[in-house]
């Protein structure tokens, strides 16, 4: 049984094996992003951080769906899959695409990544296909650590966005 915080997020492991600890921290940060979007309407999810930035909570969830796909499917599993959304970063918003759809896509990308690395060793590797680090080999351990860092950084952005929207802080 996984212990939870009062807001429903899983408490990351404080002791134990490396892989369960990494996976628990990633689960915590994923849940934090979802919590930052909870209880907001579509217009609020589309509120930009501050000029000139167009960063929004909805855009962050889309971006992290792209991140999940990139690191687990393209890099770790070596699959040739297209971007989830029309442009690779995922930040661009479509008028008809709301939170329910975006969360469903994000959850699907998470589940697919988990399928691909289930039973694999932290030492197993994939290769970065493009960009400034093209050709570099990375371990599953590195990918998990990188995703924890990516979510933590973007959850900081989500904190600022949520505070701007309705004053909710923390978590």
Q: What is the pLDDT along the chain (171 residues), one digit of tens a residue?
A: 578 999 999 999 999 999 999 999 999 999 999 999 999 999 999 999 888 888 999 999 999 999 999 999 999 999 999 999 977 667 888 888 999 999 999 999 999 999 999 999 999 999 998 899 999 999 999 999 999 999 999 999 999 999 999 998 876
**In contact, 63 and 91? CB cutoff 8 Å:** yes
In a domain, 8, yes or no: no
Closest to 161 (Cα-Cα) out of 66, 50, 67: 50
In a domain, 42, yes or no: yes
In a domain, 39, yes or no: yes
Task: Taking the CA atoms of 145, 65, 89 and 53 in sequence, report the sign of the dihedral they define.
Answer: negative
In a domain, 9, yes or no: no
pLDDT value of position 169:
84
Closest to 58 (Cα-Cα) out of 104, 102, 106: 102
- Counting the structural domains of the chain, the total is 1
Domain that holds residue 108: 18-115+123-166
pLDDT value of position 50:
83
In a domain, 1, yes or no: no
pLDDT value of position 40:
96
Q: Distance between CA atoms of 8 and 97, rounded to whole angstroms?
A: 26
In a domain, 6, yes or no: no
In a domain, 140, yes or no: yes
């Amino acid at each position: 049984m996984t212990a939870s915080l009062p807001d429903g997020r899983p408490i990351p492991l404080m002791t134990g094996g490396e892989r369960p600890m990494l996976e628990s921290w990633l689960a915590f940060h994923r849940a934090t992003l979802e919590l930052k979007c909870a209880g907001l309407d579509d217009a609020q999810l589309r509120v930009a951080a501050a000029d000139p930035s167009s960063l929004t909570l909805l855009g962050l969830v889309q971006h992290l769906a792209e991140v999940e796909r990139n690191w687990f499917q393209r890099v770790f599993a070596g699959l040739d899959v297209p971007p989830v959304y029309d442009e690779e970063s995922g930040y661009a918003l479509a008028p008809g695409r709301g939170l329910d759809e975006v969360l469903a896509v994000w959850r699907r990308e998470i589940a697919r990544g988990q399928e691909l690395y289930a039973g694999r060793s932290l030492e197993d590797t994939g290769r970065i296909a493009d960009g400034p680090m093209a050709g570099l080999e990375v371990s599953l351990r590195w990918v998990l650590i990188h995703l924890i860092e990516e979510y933590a950084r973007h959850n900081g952005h989500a904190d600022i966005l949520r505070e701007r929207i309705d004053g909710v802080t923390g978590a």
